[in-house]
Structures are given as structure tokens and as C-alpha cells.
Amino acid sequence: MKEYLLMFGDTVFGFIALFVLVKALGKTQISSLTPFDFISAVILGELVGNALFEKESGIPEIAFLVALWGILLYITEITTQKYKGSRALLEGRPSIVIHKGLLMFDVLKQNRLDINELQHLLRSKDVFSVEEVEYAVLEVDGTISVLKKPDYQTPTNSDLNVSPTPVKIGRTIISDGEVVWDNLKEAKLTKTWLEEELHRQNVQSVEDVFYAEWQENQQKLFVTLYHNQQKKE
């Protein structure tokens, strides 16, 4: 029983320590995963895992490993920020796989990317034909950025001589049955207005609402109830 309690304590501490480490290092460790970030995550998980299951190791050892690895990653991040020459080595460089509509076979080969994988990446960008692409860049995190040929680009308001309308972000007003008061205040709405609007959409209580969003462009409240029951204007 004592061993299980020790393992429980070590696991909880390791979880908290890793969570704090990711928060301290920033979102880049979990969003754009470069090859170096992937290696870092694997090694850190291995270190903590070994520390958890070795009887001689405990919370002090886990704390030391997490702190040491965090310091090394922090030094690496500072190095890439201050010394541009180190970025290519530690983070990699983007590669142009399609240049002026032509497939760059040598670049694809260098990045171990075959044509089927390239087509998969293009489809993820809503491109279903290589012919549509003017430039395609393989990013360091394995994603692809695409610039279509002019004939295949979506026309903008300026192309159509249409006057643009102001873009306004939707605000979450209710989440999981609770009012997000800060967003309600920023939208210059009141509790009374919210209650009246919910009643107008036949919603009896805030607790019945799974998600509600104030769509400022359309001046309406989008409401979704629990159990996939939806109320619209």
C-alpha cells in the first residue's frame, strides 16, 4: 500500500511539474512541433517516466529532472532568439516544394516527402489539384502553406469593388451553463437583456444553455442547449 501511495504522489507531482513547465516555456512547445520540440518532449517524458517507476527515485529526483530539462529548453529558446544562425540547426528551415507551379523533386526527396503525402497536405488546405498551386512551402512543423495561382484564388472585396464591412469577433456569453460576465460587459450588454433574450428564444434558465455567443455583426445571440437542442432566431 505504501508503494502505491508513493507512486500516486510521484505521478501527481510529475503531472503538475510538467504542466508548469509547459506553461513557463510557452505555447510553442505544444502548437508548432518542430523536430527539436518533438525530441525534447519524448526525452522529457522518458526521464519523468523512469523516475516514476524506479524505487530509488522520488519527488526530489523528478523535480531535478524537470527543472534541469526546463533550463536546457529555455537556454535553447533564448539562443534561437538572439542568434539567428542557430535557428536553422535547432528549428529547421521551411522548404519550397512547389515553385512557380512546378514540383521541386529534389526538395521533396530531401524532405522524405512523396507525392501522396504532398497531396494529403494540399487537401488539408482545400487544394485538390497540384495544378492550382503557384507556391507551396513545407513548414518546419510538417504543415504546408499554399499560395494558389491567380485563376484559382478566391476574389476579395477589393477585387469585386465591394465596400468592406467591419469585422467584429463573436463573444462567448454563456459557457457550460455559466455566464461569462466579462464578455457580457465588454459587449455592452446587461443581465436583464440576457434574461429577456433567453426567454424570447424559449430558454427558461441559463443553466439550460450549453453555449451562447453574441454575434455582434448580426446583432443576435446564438444559443445552443444541452443534449444538442438548438435555439435560433
pLDDT 10s digits, 124-133: 999 998 899 9
In a domain, 69, yes or no: yes
Amino acid (one-letter) located at 170: G
- Band (113; pLDDT cuts 50, 70, 90): confident
Total structural domains in the chain? 3
Q: What is the pLDDT of residues 15-63, one digit of tens each?
A: 566 656 655 654 444 444 555 566 666 666 666 666 666 666 666 766 7
Whole-angstrom CA distances from 119 to 9, 111, 133, 216 are 47, 15, 11, 38
User: Domain boundary at 63, 88, 113, which?
Assistant: 88
Alpha-helix runs per DSSP H in 54-161: 59-82, 85-90, 105-110, 115-123
Beta bridge mates, 17: none
Could you tell me the residue range of the domain that residue 119 belongs to?
A: 95-152
Looking at 88, 115, 140, which one is the last position of a domain?
Answer: 88
Which DSSP state fits 165? P
